[in-house]
Each structure stands twice: as structure tokens, then as C-alpha cells.
Structure 1
């Protein structure tokens, strides 16, 4: 079963570009450490202080192994330190979800 770690961030809306850089940095780090990066998302319209990151794993055990690799990856350590120093992430929540069969990636009908 594939699980997705759904990360909800409350960000400082005045540091949106800093969060964008933080998210872009994960683009190389997450796959290298074993996660399937589905994407990071910034608000476009509406609420301006909520962003999301979605990362898929084969299991919770795979997630735990990924977290252990993150702690020793120099680029990951640097990215975490940058976020902590600049304080653009005000709050972070993680929820683990499973996809409902037949509902993911369905294209619009023409």
C-alpha cells in the first residue's frame, strides 16, 4: 500500500519566496533520500499563509528510513537549518493518507 505524507505548512506570507526556495531545494533531496515527491504547493488565491507538500512512500517503515537518511544528508540538514534561521515556516502538520482507488489522476472529460 502506498501512503502519502500530506504536510500542511503555515507560512509567513511576507516570506513566500523563501518558502518557494525551500520547496525547490527538496526537489533533489527527497528522491535521493527515498521519497516520491508529488509536489509542493503555494497559495495562489484565497488564504495566503497555507502551503502544502506531498510525498509518497511504500509504507510507514519506508517513511521512517527516509527520515533517518534526511538527518544525515548534508543538503537536507542545510535546508532545515535555513528554514529555522529565516523562520518562514510558522507551523507544520503531517498527516498520512492513502489514496482511494480509482480517484487519483483522473483527467477531465473533453
Structure 2
């Protein structure tokens, strides 16, 4: 499994628009075979930083999604919305391998 982690710099005056954008992508990522883990909007602290993450079974599956979304009209609508509202200033994208289970099943932990 591979998780795409996004850090957004957003316009602090357009949090509502960024939330609308995020809700569009949650449905789209799930529709195109991924598992969206949601968006995190500013609440306390920095008022212009947001996060999102979603997973695909593999990087190859993510690439299939990226190729399919280019031609998806709903994807274009979401991208156009961000451009029109100017709610996103910039973003950073990283790919990570998630760890979802702890050591409770291990008899002895490493020292």
C-alpha cells in the first residue's frame, strides 16, 4: 500500500472554498479505486495550512488513477474550482508507506 500525503498552503480567507474542494476529491479518489483518509483544515495554530491523505494498493494503482482522472469530467470540475476560487496557493505531495498495526501481537519487542 502507498499513501499520498498532501500539505497545502491555502488562502486563509478561503477555508470554506478549500473544504468544498476537499469534499469533491474525497468522493473522486474513492470512486477511482483509492481510499481517502480525509482533509484536515486549519483550526488552531497556522491559519493557512491544510492536509489530506489517501491510499492506493500500490504506486502502479495510483498511476492508473492519475491517468484516469485526467479525462474525468468530475475531476476537471474539481481542479477548475480550485483555480477559479484561488483557495490553494501551493501544495507539496509525498508518498509514504503506512503502518496501521502495532506490536500487540508480538511476543517480544526488539530492544
Instruction: With the length of structure 2 as denominator, give the TM-score of the two structures.
Output: 0.86
Offset at residue 55 of structure 1 (A): 0.6
Offset at residue 50 of structure 1 (A): 0.5
Correspondence for 2:4: 5
Correspondence for 1:19: 18
Quick check: which has more Rg, 1 or 2? 2
In 1, distance between residues paired with 2:92 and 2:82? 15
In 2, distance between residues paired with 1:24 and 1:40? 8
Residue ranges of structure 1 left out of the alignment (5+ in a row): 104-110
Instruction: With the length of structure 1 as denominator, give the TM-score of the two structures.
Output: 0.87
Q: Could you list the runs of 4 or more consecutive aligned residues of structure 1 that deviate by over 6 angstroms after TM superposition?
A: none
Q: Assess, with a 3 A threshold, how the Cα gap between structure 1 residues 101 and 24 changes in structure 2: closer, same or farther.
A: closer
Correspondence for 2:106: none
Deviates more, 1:94-103 or 1:12-21: 94-103
Correspondence for 2:52: 53
The CA RMSD over aligned residues, in Å, is 1.2
Residue ranges of structure 2 left out of the alignment (5+ in a row): 103-111
The number of residues matched between the two structures is: 102
Offset at residue 102 of structure 1 (A): 2.8
1:52-94: CA deviations, max 9, x gaps?
A: 1101011111111011111111111101011012211001110
Offset at residue 27 of structure 1 (A): 2.5
Correspondence for 2:77: 78
